[in-house]
Amino acid sequence: MSDDALAELSDHGVSIWLDDISRHRLVSGNLQELIDAKHVVGVTSNPSIFQKALEGSADGNSPYADQVHDLAIRGVSLEESVRLLTCYDIREACDVLRPVFDATHGQDGRVSIEVDPRVAHDPDKTTAEASSLWWLVDRPNVMIKIPATEQGLESITASIAVGISVNVTLIFSIDRYKKVMEAYLAGLEQAREKGIDLSTIRSVASFFVSRVDTEIDKRLDKLGSDEARAVRGKAGIANARLAYEAFESVFIGDRWDSLAADGAHPQRPLWASTGVKDPSYDDTMYVTQLVAPHTVNTMPEATLNAVADHGVISGNTANTGYHEARAVFAQLAELGIEIDEVTELLEVEGVQKFMDSWAVLLEGVQQQLEAGAKKAGK
């Protein structure tokens, strides 16, 4: 196996983050191995990832077992138990990645944890949740994930304004992405007014890729025409490339120059949902076709290994083909598929999926706490 493709990504200004975390990765040394061997310089998490990681934590052999047992004996509430379990993992991952954070002067070495998805449409609760997680993890290289719902935009600005580094997640549309960048700039301006050192604030904007193709391909397959088949698997990358075009247009000019002069860093685009869902597609395409400087690609381990094994990096591929990307959406419109309707649906579904995972996570931890309390005779 050759990791040259991963090294080439780094050479092209792409930061490689792992889209997964678990206590097992931490205690086994697996995360450190990926840092050393696979050029991983960051980690992202979400409610679905934690749900999977914590499944079976009542098992005495689970790395979570002792902590769950102690929480049960102490009678810690369900909500607080989940926070303590997940934040422990994030804090430990932050410590593992701290040398990367220091070496890159804060650009990488980042670990993300998401606010409770149930408050995604409540800006006040989301802002309070972001602050709480920031304090609880208490590491300079943590990033708080805030969903890019319409209501979440206010929380993004408010969190940035007090110096919290934010990973904005669940971005599907170009219009919403532009509002996310505006929310970031507004937050930086407010932080500057408060006298906060802008150089300490970092942000990424997580733009989802494969889910766009999954939804649009489903509609194309129903049409079944040659014209429909011709644009299968093209929408996700086209959408992301137009997002990069928007990024290039925002972080220039007098407004940005003023912030940059005071130490501000651009909010980097992060390509999320990069695991290929259709087995007929190249399993590295959401990586190799979205190469550009000042970007992050967060990959599940299977995608990371695929890129290391047979990925071919052919230069910067995200900051080209803007005309072709617009042509893809014109073709889709001719077929009766409107990208705005698709991305709106995906946002709703994305929030709901995380809420569902959070509910399963809570239920699972509740059962384990009850089992632990019973075993302790409480």
| HSE-CB of 56 using CA atoms within 13 angstroms | 8
Helices (H) and strands (E) in the chain, counts: 18, 8
Q: For the chain, what's the residue count? A: 378
Beta-bridge partner residues of 205: 168, 269
Taking only Cα atoms into account, the Rg of the chain, rounded to an integer number of angstroms, comes to 21
* Cα distance between residue 12 and residue 295, in whole Å: 9
Name the token pair of 346.
């995906």
Which residues are bridge partners to 295 per DSSP?
14
> Residue 316 to residues 128, 295, 322: CA-CA distances in angstroms?
39, 11, 13
The end-to-end CA distance of the chain, in Å, is 53
Would you please indicate which residues are annotated as catalytic (active-site) residues? Answer: 145
C-alpha 339/C-alpha 189 separation (Å) is: 32
CB atoms within 10 A of CB 162: 16
CA dihedral 115, 272, 205, 81 (to 10 degrees): 10
Cβ atoms of 75 and 107 within 8 Å: the answer is no
Task: Show the tokens assigned to 222.
Answer: 């129903």
Cβ 189 vs Cβ 259: under 8 Å: yes
Round to whole Å and give the CA distance between 101 and 97. Answer: 6
* Other CB atoms within 10 Å distance of the CB of residue 192: 18
Assigned token pair, 269: 């685009």
Beta bridge partners of 111: 43, 142
- Other Cβ atoms closer than 10 A to 24: 14
Contact 88, 80 (CB under 8 A): no
